[in-house]
Structure 1
Amino acid sequence: MRTLTAIVLAGLGAASSHAERLGMAMTQLPQGDGGSITVFYPTRAAESAASVGPFRLSWAGDAAPAKGNGRLVVVSHGSGGAPWVHADLARTLVGRGFVVALPQHAGDNARDPSTPGPESWVKRPREVSGAIDRVGADPRFAPLLALDAVGVFGGSAGGHTALTLAGGEWSPARFRDHCMRHMEDDFSSCVGFTTLLGGDWLDGVKRWLARRVIAWRFSDDTPQRHVDARVKAVIAMVPFAADFDPSTLASPKVPLGLVIADKDVNQVPAFHVERIRQACEPRCEVMMRLADGSHGAMLSPLPPLEKGSIAEHLLADPPGFDRAGTLPLLNGRIADFFEKLLLPH
């Protein structure tokens, strides 16, 4: 006759074996604007190698989902971004049982980068809400998910999305005012990936032209806001945040985590995430400060960066940044944050 201890240990071994069989699957759902929502999720199907552009990844394509922890995390990509640069974070979250959805932000993605900045930022939080609706309506995921507690992670422009969903209010005119005051010190935040200051006579022309275009396009001072009652925890990493009214995030509507990269040259922390931190602490949490990290730390895997390009200048890891050791730790802390706040205890 088997002892109680043996039965319990056998059960634990079976559960462990069951968990080890779960891998990551990927599918894409149609978005209402003609784009797509990329969904990563747990599966018992075998993974295989997958190539997407320069990325060499692994997943089980369109496989049957396995029951995870019943919670959804939506990831908002950065300006001109794609889902694949968040595949490592998605794998960590899927390994903890989460379903992970990445909407394609219209006019500000790798396929269509036509309207980045404030024009996209108005739409992005609503696209997150739309992704929650769409995943929740899919017959494969609907029986496996409870959408009363959803997590949101975003980096850079996606961090702007995340701060909005945490209750922050911003306006295009505040973006304009920031750029008028700090054009030279925070140039890439104002002009994006179009050009850099080169320390020559052309800099004056670049600054003059940028000011003219920004003043013409972004004069609306109407506060922009969008919250979704289903979103219960938010993480903003290296966010564009200079256009927020910090007082609106002094008491975030949901638990808010911040990730700061001290050597970020794309969104200089002093103008962006540090302003939010100063307003919301101790009601928000600095989950990790990357002393040697820059803006590209939000991307894993990091895409190949052309030597001498603007992207290399803004996204490449600074000397001394331990990507291999740091990012798995960061991804684990992100998963811990969402487990603590979204799962029933």
Structure 2
Amino acid sequence: MVSERGLQVLRAIVQDYVDTREPVGSKTIVERHAFGVSAATIRNDMALLEDEELIAAPHTSSGRVPTDKGYRVFVDHLAELRPLSVAQRSAISSFLDGPGDLDDTLVRTVRALTQLTGQVAIVQYPSFARANVTHVELVQLGGGRMLVIVVTDTGRVSQRMTWVGAEFDDADLARMRAALAALLVGRSVRDGLQRIADHLATVEATASTDAATAAIVRVIAEELEEFRQDRLVMAGTANLARSEADFRGSIYPLLEAIEEQVTLLRLMSEMASDEQGLAASIGRENEQFGLAEASIVASEYDATGARARVGVMGPMRMDYATNLGAVRAVARYLTRLLDEDDAGRVRGVQDDASPAQDEAGRSRGTQDEAAR
């Protein structure tokens, strides 16, 4: 059984080891921390911590370092999240503020987070598989091009240009919109994909398909598939090389996980959150994912009803208090930003789809979409 003072000794060992990368001894603890007891008493406390496998000696006669179990106790019971400074909050704002679609926003998010923490930053794409399609719009762009717009009840908006090879009058466009609405509106993304597959199988079997409508349906299917895909955005991989000394073995498993993404997607999805939406997976807790020497800390963010995580990955010797505070702050900022952007994008789509828009405006919108 570890005493309250023993836990505070563990806190001191974790903090000093993170700061110095040197094993921590009893004399150092007495000199740096105001425990008001002798080094011999601290050694007794450290012996109990070692018996509980919370600290370990990396070498004979050396000081002690935290184990992954010790880091877990620290994170769960001892870490005090450090609030971000005014300068750090200003840095987040300068990175994330400004126009951009979801892809651009998440790229800027990982760049901000890796600069704040010095770790590999990871953001999950929100999964919109359960979202419902609320609107499908078609806008002719001239020259046989069509802008296809799909909106869901989560505020997610897709705009995609496709080649249909013909021009349509208002009656034909109305007919195509009505057919697409009957097929998709009010359906979930998952159900919509199934209905599209059934529809295409039917029209191909009867050879009675309208080529333009079929092309548009296929484009919508590709966009809906994007809506439900699990993906990650990452930045800061070079930071692993800078902290290679903190890994007892090779950093290759981490680089492989970054490259393939599947492992990190599973890990990020399976982490258990506390009541604040924060989660940490430390050392041997990641053994089944092949990342037994790494730690990941994450926080949940909300993309208008679709929840996902933003986090950082690095060695077990990381500044958990600072990193947890950083991912929480970034997640909260990202949630607010996406709420505001989703409302703006829905209004923008409604404006873009207006019959009164001129050809020049449509062309500019197409160029922007093609660039994205």
Q: Shorter-chain TM-score category?
A: under 0.3
User: Structure 2 length normalisation: TM-score?
Assistant: 0.23
Q: Which structure has the larger Rg over C-alpha atoms?
A: 2
Q: Structure 1 length as normaliser, TM-score?
A: 0.24
As a proportion of its length, which structure holds more helix? 2
Of structures 1 and 2, the one with the larger relative CO (CA 8 A, separation 6+) is: 2
